[in-house]
């Protein structure tokens, strides 16, 4: 039951953010990689770190939490970069409904901002 609730919640989050869902089969290297990465990220989010309570002990890295967090951040960054690359490829082929998920909306905003900057930079300054 715990696994089912976790998968349902994760499916909802991923559908909103990436427009992707977990495949029903639990095999697959890629699926297991990002599921483990997300699990580690959520677990570390709720963990109490000594340096949060006592900031002057941050340099000690008691328990190695900072090292583990950096490792998980790198792994999760690779996963998100892969999702972003897939979304950009789908957009290039016009296969993606990019306005339906958070990453697509953010890419659209970035594209619009870049086009606005290029328009404003070519416009003569009349003031």
Residue 46 forms part of a structural domain: yes
Owning domain of residue 73: 32-108
Residue 52 forms part of a structural domain: yes
The chain-wide mean pLDDT, for the chain, equals 78
Return d(Cα 123, Cα 61) in angstroms, integer.
52
Given a cut of 50, is residue 86 above it in pLDDT? yes
Number of domains in the chain: 1
Residue 115 forms part of a structural domain: no
Residue 44 forms part of a structural domain: yes
Prediction pTM value: 0.66
- pLDDT tens for 22-50 read 666 555 677 777 778 888 888 888 888 88
Residue 117 forms part of a structural domain: no
- pLDDT tens for 96-111 read 565 677 888 888 888 8
CB distance 93 to 7 below 8 Å? no
């Amino acid at each position: 039951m715990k696994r089912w609730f976790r998968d349902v919640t994760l499916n909802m989050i991923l559908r909103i953010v990436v427009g992707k869902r977990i495949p029903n089969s639990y095999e697959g290297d890629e699926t297991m990689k990002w599921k483990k990465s997300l699990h580690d990220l959520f677990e570390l989010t709720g963990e109490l770190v000594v340096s949060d309570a006592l900031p002057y002990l941050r340099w000690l890295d008691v328990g190695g939490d900072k090292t583990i967090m950096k490792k998980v951040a790198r792994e999760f960054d690779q996963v998100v970069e892969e999702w972003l690359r897939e979304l950009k490829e789908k957009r290039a082929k016009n296969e993606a409904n990019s306005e339906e998920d958070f990453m697509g909306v953010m890419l659209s905003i970035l594209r619009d901002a870049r086009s606005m900057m290029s328009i404003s930079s070519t416009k003569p300054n009349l003031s």
